[in-house]
Copies of this chain bind each other. A is one copy, B any other.
Amino acid sequence: MARYKVILAYDGTEFKGFQRQAGKSTARTVQNTFESALREIGWSGEAILSAGRTDAGVHASGQVISFDLEWKHGEAELAAALNANLPADVAVREVSEALEGFHPRYDAVSRRYCYRIFTDPIRDPQRERFAWRIWPPVDGGLLEATAGAIIGSHDFRAFGSAPHAGGTTVRRVFKAEWCSKESELVFEIQANAFLYRMVRKLVGYQVEIGQGKLELQAMKERLQDQCADLVRNIAPPHGLSLEAVEYVR
């Protein structure tokens, strides 16, 4: 029996999120789907471990999961065997043996997400699966300035709740920037950890600023004690993707 670490990619559109839901164990979640594939090759565990839950409709190219398995062949063979049992919208990208006791969530030192937007007044089916269409257009310079205000250690309680009641809402953001890629604007954010729906709320709020509906100053105020009401702006799930989870080794 060995512990394996697996990098997982999925198109979240047709999943009811990553995690199995209590009382709805038959819902099509990434976890349920992956565990079924794992059982096909002899796994008899109770639940896989993951770096983080993603909401319904959120994608991933670098989700990390872990499980114990008795496997006599190599890592590439394990990846191939799992991929043969997984549906088209989820795939194992990488398999490696982990140290005993490795935990994808507790051992992670940071996570990186991308959020894609594009501006267009009319629906565009080929682009809207993985990006949020917004209108009116945003001012790219304002987006950049707003992202700059996010970098560093802040109390993000205006942008999400802690996973456990009473837990800290302070998070350390290492990177937050908007890049222009082809016809899209991509927000890349890396932090030690994230609050519930934090990225989507940060994006929703930044877009309001970029469209001139809020002042740039509003972002700074939301990160200060005196004005930390929970923001209501939330960007839709389909623009978001969990890109990577980093470990010390």
21 A–B contacts from the bound complex (CB under 8 Å): A9-B124, A9-B126, A10-B125, A11-B125, A11-B129, A59-B126, A61-B124, A61-B126, A79-B122, A83-B122, A83-B123, A88-B123, A88-B125, A89-B125, A90-B125, A91-B123, A91-B124, A92-B122, A126-B241, A129-B129, A182-B182
Q: How many copies does the complex hold?
A: 2
- Whether a CB of chain B sits under 8 angstroms from the CB of A128 is yes
Shortest C-beta distance, A118 to chain B (Å), equals 13
> What is A's interface to B at a CB cutoff of 8 Å?
9-11, 59, 61, 79, 83, 88-94, 122-126, 128-130, 181-182, 241
How many whole Å from A223's CB to the nearest CB in chain B? 31
Tell me the bound Cα distance from A1 to B93 in angstroms: 55
**B122, A130: Cβ atoms under 8 Å?**
no
Q: Which of B79, B122, B126, B130 contacts A126 (CB 8 A)?
A: B130
Asked if A122 contacts B181 (CB within 8 A), the reply is no
Residue of A83, A89, A92, A123 contacting most chain B CB atoms (<10 Å): A123
